[in-house]
Amino acid sequence: MIVESGNSLQETKRRNRILIKNKIFRMEHALRNEIARELGLTLPTITNSINEMIREGLVITEPLSQESRNKNSGRRPLAVAFRREAAYAIGIELGPYYSRVILVNLRGEAVESVTNPKASESYGKMMSELENLVEHFLHRIDRDQLIGIGIGVPGFVDTDRGRIRYTFREDWNGKTLGEDLGRRFSVPVSVDNNTRLRATGYEMLLREERPGMFAYFFVSRGIACPILMNDLVLSGDSAGAGELGQTVLLSSDHEGQKRTVTTDQLASESALFELCRREMAEGRLAALRKRLDAGEELTMRLILELQMGGDQEIDALIDSCIHGQALAMANVVNLLNPNAVVVDAYMMTWKTNRERLVAYAREHFFGMNEKDVEIRFREYDSYDGALGAALGCIQKNFLNI
């Protein structure tokens, strides 16, 4: 609660407005009295701030749907919402397999999206690719409607400067991507870890009760697990993703040689690809070899298709990866005791794999965690990373100012 008194009335109004904007964005039906109740502010304070945003062309009023009105007795209430075309953000995910770009309006809705092949390993060429993609979307809107560009990259990021500290594309390391692209288009450009942005985007679009603390369990080329508490991603200055894939699941010393095995080496998509290559080299996985010989690429889509088609060899390899994921998830749950774990993974688009992960993980949850910690599965969408980058941009450059 913010008390409407003190040394600076203007600062109090500004801070109240930030809270109100965030509530409007996150509520399915933003009613003035409910915003007042949830924030602990007076109804006149809410009304004055909203009326000001209506005059600015940022907010409109809308009648509730018939279903929603049935839940409310008395006079027909009007909800408030951001005007869709008032502003836009561009979100970009420079992922390990593809580059995806999305244009998002002020309600967090996708207007248009584009997929490109994975970005060039050369920083200069990648910048040229980004400029072309941004120009494509700028033709859809007036430039003064663009509140910023959000970019998600794997690895460690200096978010203050938009500098890539470390990623697997070596030529990008040390480059100030945010400043470089910002100079080109004269708009704010924010850069962050792509998984952190996925988690932020997930939280911003929740229309149900939010967990006070949740772990965002993301499986891709590697495995990451940022933690969100009270709408904020927990992170140090390095702005990594919670590199769960680098945690050690096995350490042994055999005949004088020390060996450690990380979660990424056991349970990531990269680990699964390596298992498939090893099995094929030893004469197994005939169905997969046939598809690759016919010109297809080794992808999660192909592997999952074979598993769902009844390939028992593929199924066994995926099952071993899910076991590793379950162990890593249990370590997070037993250490931090979050309210929920949100799983974001392409291989979990098949219900059987979801059921296995839940069963294997709960075997290793300690004490009350087995009953208390909810495991949620995010419906997979290839644009979630780009969407999270755009939503993070809206959060930073509109909702929180």
Q: What is the mean pLDDT of each run of 10 residues along the chain (401 residues)?
A: 62 96 94 96 97 97 72 71 97 96 98 96 97 93 95 94 94 97 95 95 88 94 92 65 83 70 95 98 98 97 98 98 97 95 98 98 94 95 97 97 94
Residue 72, domain member (yes or no): no
The tally of domains found in the chain comes to: 3
Residue recorded with tokens 């998002």: 104
The upper half-sphere exposure of residue 204, i.e. CA atoms within 13 Å in the direction of its Cβ, equals 27
Within-domain flag for 19: yes
Q: Which two tokens stand for residue 37?
A: 């109740």
To 5 degrees, how large is the angle CA 328–CA 330–CA 335? 100
pLDDT of res. 249: 82
- Contact assessment for residue 6 and residue 44, using Cβ atoms and an 8 Å cutoff: no
Give 75: exposed, middle or buried? Use CB within 10 Å, 0-12, 13-18, 19+. Answer: exposed
Residue with tokens 């997969």: 288
**Which residue, chain included where needed, has tokens 């990259």?**
153
Asked whether residue 143 falls in the same domain as residue 272, the answer is no
* Region class of 8: left (phi > 0), else alpha (psi between -120 and 50), else beta: beta
Nearest CA among 183, 184, 176 for reference residue 160: 176
Asked whether residue 170 is domain-assigned, the answer is yes
Same structural domain for residues 254 and 331? yes
Per-residue pLDDT at 1: 47
- 197, with CB counted inside 10 A (0-12, 13-18, 19+), is buried
Which pLDDT value is given to residue 4? Answer: 47
The verdict on 217 and 194 lying in the same domain is: no
| β-sheet bridge partners, residue 211 | none
Cα(385)–Cα(344) distance, rounded to whole angstroms? 11
In degrees, rounded to 5, the angle at the alpha carbon of residue 237 between the alpha carbons of residues 233 and 238 is 90
Domain finish residue from 34, 51, 82: 82
Number of Cβ within 10 Å of residue 10's Cβ equals 7
How confident is the model at residue 252, as a pLDDT? 67
If asked whether residues 267 and 392 sit together in one domain, one would say no
Round to the nearest angstrom and report the end-to-end CA distance of the chain: 18
Q: With contact defined as beta carbons under 8 Å apart, do 376 and 342 qualify?
A: yes
Q: 32 with 126, same domain?
A: no
Asked if residue 353 and residue 309 are part of one domain, the reply reads yes
Apex 133 CA angle, 81 and 171, nearest 5? 120
Q: Are residues 231 and 190 in the same domain?
A: no
Residue 367 belongs to a domain: yes
Query: Is the same domain home to 171 and 226?
Result: no
Q: Can you give the CATH number for the domain in which 154 is found?
A: 3.30.420.40
- Quick one: pLDDT at residue 12? 94
Pairing of strands 340-345, 374-377: parallel
Q: Please indicate, yes or no, if residue 244 is contained in any of the structural domains.
A: yes
Does one domain contain both 287 and 183?
Answer: no
Q: What is the DSSP letter of 24?
A: H
Q: Write 255-262 long-range contacts (CB < 8 A, 24+).
A: none
313 within a domain of the structure (yes/no): yes
Q: Residue 399 has what DSSP assignment?
A: I
- Give pLDDT, residue 86: 97
Task: Judge if 104 and 31 occupy the same domain.
Answer: no
Q: What is the DSSP string of 165-218?
A: EE-SSGGGTT-BHHHHHHHHHTS-EEEEEHHHHHHHHHHHT--SPPPSEEEEEE
Residue 390 lies in a domain: yes
Domain-located, residue 18: yes
What gap in Å lies between CA 112 and CA 132, rounded to an integer?
15
β partners of residue 219: 223, 345
DSSP state string for 341-358:
EEEEEGGGGSHHHHHHHH
Last residue within a domain, chosen from 47, 82, 117: 82
Whats the size of the chain, residue-wise?
401
In this predicted structure, what is the pLDDT of residue 200? 94
Per-residue confidence (pLDDT) for residue 243, from 0 to 100: 85
CA atoms within 13 Å, Cβ hemisphere of 388: 27
User: Could you tell me if 243 and 317 lie in one domain?
Assistant: yes
SS3 label, residue 30: strand
Q: How far apart are CA 145 and CA 89, in angstroms?
A: 8
CATH of the domain at 55: 1.10.10.10
Domain extent, residue 241, equals 213-378
49 and 101 fall within a common domain: no
Q: What is the pLDDT of residue 343?
A: 98
